[in-house]
Amino acid sequence: MAKGKNTVATVTELAAPVAAECGVRLWDVRFEKEGAGWYLRIVIDKDGGVNIDD
């Protein structure tokens, strides 16, 4: 579990300024084991919602 927490902290630190520069909010970062694999999920949001161009 420590691996996941460290990964989330690192990704959050790297992604937050990029998200802000792109005009979106970093809503959630998760690193979860599902079955045999690990999945990194980064969720963003902005006023009016996000679309494929964001």
pLDDT 10s digits, 1-54:
456 679 999 999 999 999 999 999 999 999 999 999 999 999 999 999 998 887
- 24, 26, 32, 37: CA torsion to nearest 10: 30
Residue type, 29: V
- Which residues have C-beta within 8 Å of that of residue 16, sequence separation ≥ 6? 26
Residue type, 25: R
Q: What is residue 1's predicted lDDT score, i.e. its pLDDT?
A: 47
Q: What is residue 54's predicted lDDT score, i.e. its pLDDT?
A: 76
Q: Does pTM surpass 0.85?
A: no
SS3 of 43, please? strand
Which tokens sit at 16?
């937050």
Sort strands 37-45 and 25-34 into parallel, antiparallel or unpaired: antiparallel
